[in-house]
Amino acid sequence: MAIKTILVIEDDRFIGEMYVRSLKKAGYEVDWMVGGNDGLIAARNKNYDLILLDVMLPERRGNEIMEALRGKEDLIPNTKVIIITNFEQDDESRMAMEHDADAYLIKAEITPKKLIDVITKLG
């Protein structure tokens, strides 16, 4: 299944805009949410092919969103999730997130071009 629609949940405006711009230029349909609550609502309401999920978000952390979406039952069985973060935690919340996600990427290492490569491989 090729990836067409993407939800970006990222609170840093510069970083969010950068991903949205590059993904749109690459032909993806992109929605962008800056808060954890809005992000979770959007993820539940619309069937995205892919969610790019930041971890350090206002209101609700990425790991909580992941838990809400895939913890007890998988609410998004047709959606891939890529965790994007600059803070590597050495704890269980990360292990759980990694387990439930399709990829875990460090933002500082992933330029838009590399991100699109990963998305293409994932799709």
The footprint of other proteins on this chain (CB under 8 A) covers a number of residues equal to 26
Structure tokens at 78: 């047709």
Please count the CA atoms within 13 angstroms of the CA of 100 that sit on its side-chain side: 23
Which of residues 47 and 86 has its CB atom nearest to other proteins in the complex? 86
Which of residues 45 and 90 has its CB atom nearest to other proteins in the complex? 90
For residue 58, state whether it binds other proteins (rule: CB under 8 A).
no
- Separation of alpha carbons 63 and 24, rounded Å: 26
Q: 80, 37 in Cβ contact below 8 A?
A: no
- Tell which positions 77-116 bind other proteins, by CB under 8 A: 86-88, 90, 98, 102-113
Q: Which residue in the block uniquely carries the two structure tokens 């809005």?
A: 38
Angle between helices 112-122 and 13-25 (to 10 degrees): 60
Q: Which residue in the block uniquely carries the two structure tokens 């500082």?
A: 108
Among 3, 5, 12, 38, binds other proteins (CB under 8 A): 12
For residue 34, state whether it binds other proteins (rule: CB under 8 A).
no
Where do contacts with other proteins occur on this chain (CB under 8 A)?
Answer: 12, 14-15, 18, 21-22, 86-88, 90, 98, 102-113, 118, 121-122
